[in-house]
């Protein structure tokens, strides 16, 4: 089969790829030099839309409406943009073998791609209940959500099972966002997760209590402290029941599973150094192998602010890491250098009329402030994390843009906190005066 050769190849066509492409153009990439190879059939898009507006019953978001780089307020890069810039979008093409020694990628159809510089941007894949051998987990109408194809299948099922019952397995990001959007679609929703409160990776018990109360008030049934151990299906193979470890059985027409993701590093196993489950990079996103970079969900990079190697599975970092890597590539070609990547963690989520942002590190003591009564008309509350007397993390629900900027600044500046009591009393005022 014919071989194609490019100066630069981005492997993966997700968020990081889109933002990298824009930066390649900013840096003056020449016509024909860059290719993006993606398993997906569409140009890079803002993945967060899939668990939110894509699933709305009224005026849902659809491509080409949310191609990158609209998510951060930039120009939307339509497929025509790539063509105009001479960037080859090689879509619907899964790479099944990577040989870093010979700088070669091979697709499932046997096409061969050569590169001089490779940017690995393969993102994450979902963890499946079938991976743990959960009985009946391959029944029809059990869904996972990662790519636009997955979202399309879910949209079809929502239409087919009007006013039916949905069970959401997992209490993390997917669990919380999908429970909300399924409820908005008028399904009867139950959520199941093993922990004592939702989103335990980030939320304190106090933060979680608000969302659990709010969801319960919307009519979502929350079942904590247990897991799905099996599924019963009807004669057509469609899921009908979810069996829980505590013996309960839930009726279900649709099941959505969000039990975590796993970075897609498998093509490079044994070829690049790994750390903490991701591909190890330096602060320019260079891997252990020359001419190979890794960005987005797959990269384990030096988080300068905490002097620690970390991996981040959120959209803001995927955008910024991609831009930083491309700047570093061009600087290095010009015999120059760029500053170290100095990232302040930023995560957010939206569901119903709620919207929260978090900046910094969720370690140390915590204080909760504001009105976190889920029954309030306009709840607004937050939390600070305090380590060694300094405020290192801040969370805010329903903040204004200025207030969100203020909590971001707190997390970056890490001001001293007089006492936890004082912080709790001052609440948002503390952030706004920094």
Strand 308-311 relative to strand 299-303, pairing: antiparallel
Which of ligand NAD, ligand FDA, none interacts with 14 (beta carbon under 5 to 8 A by kind)? ligand FDA
Size (the chain), residues:
434
Angstrom distance (rounded) from CA 192 to CA 182 = 14
Q: Indicate which single residue of 12, 136, 164, 170 sits in contact with ligand NAD (rule: CB under 6 A).
A: 170
Asked if 21 interacts with ligand FDA (CB under 6 A), we say no
**Which residues, numbered 325-354, are part of the site for ligand NAD (CB under 6 A)?**
347, 349
Which of ligand NAD, ligand FDA, none interacts with 227 (beta carbon under 5 to 8 A by kind)? ligand NAD
Asked if 174 interacts with ligand NAD (CB under 6 A), we say yes
Asked if 193 interacts with ligand NAD (CB under 6 A), we say yes
Q: State the nearest-atom distance from the C-beta of 238 to ligand FDA, in Å.
A: 23
Asked if 310 interacts with ligand NAD (CB under 6 A), we say no
Angstrom distance (rounded) from CA 18 to CA 47 = 11
Asked if 348 interacts with ligand FDA (CB under 6 A), we say yes
Please enumerate in sequence order all residues whose Cβ is within 8 A of that of 389, keeping only pairs 6 or more positions apart, or say none: 416, 417
Run of H or E including 117: strand 112-120
Angstrom distance (rounded) from CA 430 to CA 188 = 41
Which of ligand NAD, ligand FDA, none interacts with 136 (beta carbon under 5 to 8 A by kind)? none
Run of H or E including 107: strand 104-107
Residue 85 or 311 having the CB closest to ligand NAD: 311
Please enumerate in sequence order all residues whose Cβ is within 8 A of that of 282, keeping only pairs 6 or more positions apart, or say none: 301, 302
The answer to whether the CB of 135 falls within 8 A of the CB of 242 is no
Q: Indicate which single residue of 67, 183, 280, 314 sits in contact with ligand FDA (rule: CB under 6 A).
A: 314
Q: State the nearest-atom distance from the C-beta of 370 to ligand FDA, in Å.
A: 22
**Which residues, numbered 252-281, are part of the site for ligand NAD (CB under 6 A)?**
258-261
Question: 361: which 2 tokens?
Answer: 């590190």
Q: State the nearest-atom distance from the C-beta of 48 to ligand NAD, in Å.
A: 6
Asked if 297 interacts with ligand FDA (CB under 6 A), we say yes
Intra-chain end-to-end CA distance of the chain, in Å? 61
Which of ligand FDA, ligand NAD, none interacts with 382 (beta carbon under 5 to 8 A by kind)? none
**Which residues, numbered 31-90, are part of the site for ligand NAD (CB under 6 A)?**
51
Tell me which residue of 174, 182, 220 sits closest to 56, measured CA to CA: 182
The residues that bridge with 241 in the sheet, in sequence order, are 232, 251
Q: State the nearest-atom distance from the C-beta of 395 to ligand FDA, in Å.
A: 14
Identify the DSSP state of 331. Answer: H
* Residues at the site binding ligand NAD, with contacts judged by CB under 6 A: 51, 124, 169-175, 177, 192-195, 201, 227-228, 258-261, 313-314, 347, 349
């Amino acid at each position: 089969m014919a071989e194609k050769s490019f100066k630069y190849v981005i492997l993966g066509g997700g968020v990081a790829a889109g933002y990298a492409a824009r930066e390649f153009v900013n840096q003056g990439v020449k016509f024909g030099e860059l290719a993006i190879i993606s398993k997906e059939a569409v140009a890079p898009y803002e993945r967060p839309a899939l668990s939110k507006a894509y699933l709305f019953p009224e005026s849902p978001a659809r491509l080409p409406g949310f191609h990158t780089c609209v998510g951060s307020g930039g120009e939307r890069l339509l497929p025509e943009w790539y063509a105009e810039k001479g960037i080859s979008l090689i879509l619907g093409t899964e790479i099944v073998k990577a040989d870093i020694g010979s700088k070669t990628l091979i697709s499932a159809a046997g096409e061969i791609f050569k590169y001089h510089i490779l940017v690995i941007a393969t993102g994450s894949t979902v963890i499946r209940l079938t991976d743990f051998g959960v009985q009946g987990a391959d029944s029809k109408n059990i869904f996972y959500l990662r790519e636009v194809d997955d979202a399309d299948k879910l949209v079809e099922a929502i239409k087919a099972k009007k006013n039916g019952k949905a069970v959401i397995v997992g209490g993390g990001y997917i669990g919380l966002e999908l429970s909300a959007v399924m409820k908005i679609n008028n399904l009867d929703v139950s959520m199941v997760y093993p922990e004592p409160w939702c989103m335990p990776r980030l939320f304190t018990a106090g933060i979680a209590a608000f969302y659990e109360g709010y969801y319960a008030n919307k009519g979502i049934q929350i079942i904590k402290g247990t897991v799905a151990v099996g599924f019963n299906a009807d004669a057509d193979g469609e899921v009908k029941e979810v069996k829980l470890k505590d013996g309960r059985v839930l009726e279900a027409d649709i099941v959505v599973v969000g039990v975590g993701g796993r970075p897609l590093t498998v093509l490079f196993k044994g070829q690049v150094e790994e750390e903490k489950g991701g591909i190890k990079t330096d602060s320019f996103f260079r891997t252990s192998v020359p001419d190979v970079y890794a960005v987005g969900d797959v990269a384990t990079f030096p988080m300068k602010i905490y002097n620690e190697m970390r991996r981040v599975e959120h959209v803001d970092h995927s955008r910024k890491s991609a831009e930083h890597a491309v700047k570093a590539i061009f600087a290095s070609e010009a015999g120059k250098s760029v500053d170290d990547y100095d990232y302040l963690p930023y995560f957010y989520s939206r569901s119903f009329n709620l919207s929260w942002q978090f900046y910094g590190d969720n370690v140390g003591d915590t204080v909760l402030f504001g009105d976190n009564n889920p029954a309030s008309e306009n709840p607004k509350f937050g939390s600070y994390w305090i380590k060694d007397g300094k405020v290192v993390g801040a969370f805010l629900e329903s903040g204004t843009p200025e207030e969100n900027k203020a909590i971001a600044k707190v997390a970056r500046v890490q001001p001293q906190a007089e006492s936890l009591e004082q912080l709790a009393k001052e609440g948002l005022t503390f952030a706004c005066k920094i």
